[in-house]
Chains A and B, each alone.
Chain A
Amino acid sequence: MLKMTPLNQTHRDMNAKMVDFGGWDMPLHYGSQLDEHHKVRQDAGMFDVSHMLSVDIKGDNVRGFLRQLVANNVDKLALPGKALYSCMLTPQAGIIDDLIIYFLSEAWFRIVVNAGTADKDVAWMLKKRDELAPNLEITPRRDLAMIAVQGPNARAKVWQVIPDSQSATEELKQFQSAVVGQYFIARTGYTGEDGFEIILPAADAPAFWKALHAAGVAPAGLGARDTLRLEAGMNLYGQDMDETKNPLESGLAWTVDLKSERDFVGKQTLLDAAVTHQLVGLVLVDRGVLRGHQQVVGQKDGVEYSGEITSGGFSPTMNQSIALARISARIGIGDEVEVVVRDKKLRAKVVKYPFVRNGKVLV
């Protein structure tokens, strides 16, 4: 039996094409994935991301616990409402999950984790809690829904639907959040566009979704979500990284704090690690479509190297194929590599990602 979000019937009523996404019955698209993609880049779209899980951690000194639990440094969270992207690592520095931590107060942090990893994430948090901070309360919030409203006009449309929220949220910068009545509103997202991610009680989600739709926000499915996040150069757990990869070879060194004195799970392994691979962007020069697991081959300075595409696809904004690939650290930006596509080798250029941000092509 597939798991359903509070918006399942709403998606069906809007003629969504539903798919099994890691055990969740989720909308792939509502007609055209490409139209939904463009709508988000140019106007406003909304995604049901209620399959992701909010986990509340409450008690004395939550911060002290999180300093040890995650690879990024929660001491960067100074102002209440501030958010931080981080990996949670195994002692071997494999990535258990990537997550966003919201600092609400010293006694309350909220962590949003991926759907596919939610059970193991919570189990790991509870295990570490028992070891490090047994007084803390960790509560998975399956009673909440989450809707991401994204695009250049997304915030204005949210304010149209919940006018009371405008004064509390219009000054929010990227990666800041505010609690407004029953809504938790964060200026975050997974598309490379401006917008909000809104957490609210599950029972209120269908009416809120319909009100956003009436305000001109287009429903968008997992298909558009994937092409948007790929253009935005954002990693997808399970494809671009997993427990067999560390953040340094996954393009996530910027999320790891190795400078402070604090110890965290996986730190020693990262300090000792020899980083032989890197995550880079590829833009296909020849005609075709790059896909995950295609092999990257070539020679540099007379020595062969190899690599693999971790996420690939067609970029609707650039009208050509792009990919993220894990390849030898010897390869530089601007180099040309070859990708094995069926019986052919296609040329691709190594670029620094993101590919697209705020509607503009950057590569």
Chain B
Amino acid sequence: MSIPTNLKYSKSHEWVKPEADGTVTVGISHHAQELLGDMVFIELPEVGRVLKQKEECAVAESVKAAADVYSPISGEVTAVNSPLVDEPGKINEDAYSAWLFKLKPSNTAELDGLLDAVAYAELVESEDH
């Protein structure tokens, strides 16, 4: 599966989509769900929680393992994808539409430090070998 070029990526395999209203949407990458396998449990952060960059803020568990999700940038949680909790398999179906939460960034400069699609593809490639 190709890596969408309109998104940014963290080294810990979250994707970030800057929205028109200034918020960002966060999910986990296709590569991450592929490593984890069938997803069976999602725990999302509380709306209003203030997160620091790289802070543990959600849990994604598959049949195989539990994985922490880290906030790719600092900011306040403005929305969470609650229906996903009942259908974690949506992440396996399409990791880039099954978002986890939205953030209002507190430091937009952190966005520039994230990986673009090409750099993320290289990271995935290097981890496969």
Contacts and interface: CB of A to CB of B under 8 A. Distances in A.
B63 A223 contact: yes
A29 B41 contact: no
A74 B121 CA distance: 59
Contact of B37 (A33, A287, A291, A316): A33
B76 interface: no
Contacts of B59: 342
Interface in B42-64: 43, 59, 61, 63-64
B64 A289 contact: no
Contacts of B32: none
A34 B63 contact: yes
A33 B38 CA distance: 7
A206 interface: no
Interface in B34-93: 37-38, 40-41, 43, 59, 61, 63-64, 66, 85, 89, 92
Interface residues of B, number: 13
Contacts, number: 36
Contacts of A29: 37
A228 B16 CA distance: 37
A314 B37 contact: no
B38 A289 contact: no
A29 B63 CA distance: 11
Interface in A255-301: 287-289, 291
A223 B43 CA distance: 23
B66 A314 contact: no
A219 to B, nearest CB: 16
A294 B63 CA distance: 16
Contacts of A32: 38, 92
Contacts of A227: 63
Contact of A33 (B43, B63, B66): B63
Q: Say what secondary structure dominates the interface of chain A.
A: mixed
A354 interface: no
A313 B63 contact: yes
A218 B6 CA distance: 38
Contact of A289 (B66, B85, B92): B66
Interface in A13-41: 28-29, 32-34
B40 A223 contact: no
A361 B66 CA distance: 25
A33 to B, nearest CB: 5
Most buried by B among A223, A288, A289: A289
Nearest to A315: B40
Most buried by A among B37, B41, B63, B66: B63
B38 A34 contact: yes
Nearest to A344: B43
A223 B41 CA distance: 17
A302 to B, nearest CB: 33
Contacts of A287: 41, 43, 85
B95 to A, nearest CB: 15
A133 B79 CA distance: 72
Nearest to B35: A17
A306 B38 CA distance: 31
Nearest to A37: B63
A32 B63 CA distance: 10
Most buried by B among A32, A33, A314: A314
Contacts of B37: 28-29, 33, 223
Nearest to B61: A289
A223 B65 CA distance: 11
A284 to B, nearest CB: 10
A34 B38 CA distance: 7
Contacts of A321: 41
19 contacts: A28-B37, A28-B64, A33-B37, A33-B38, A33-B64, A34-B38, A34-B40, A34-B63, A223-B37, A223-B64, A227-B63, A287-B41, A287-B85, A288-B41, A288-B43, A289-B41, A289-B66, A316-B63, A321-B41
| The 10 A-B residue pairs with the shortest CB-CB distance in the complex, in nearest-first order | A314-B40, A34-B38, A289-B61, A289-B41, A33-B63, A33-B38, A314-B63, A33-B37, A32-B38, A223-B63
Given A34-B63, A287-B41, 16 more contacts: A28-B37, A28-B64, A33-B64, A34-B38, A34-B40, A34-B89, A223-B37, A227-B63, A288-B41, A288-B61, A289-B40, A289-B41, A314-B40, A314-B41, A314-B63, A316-B63
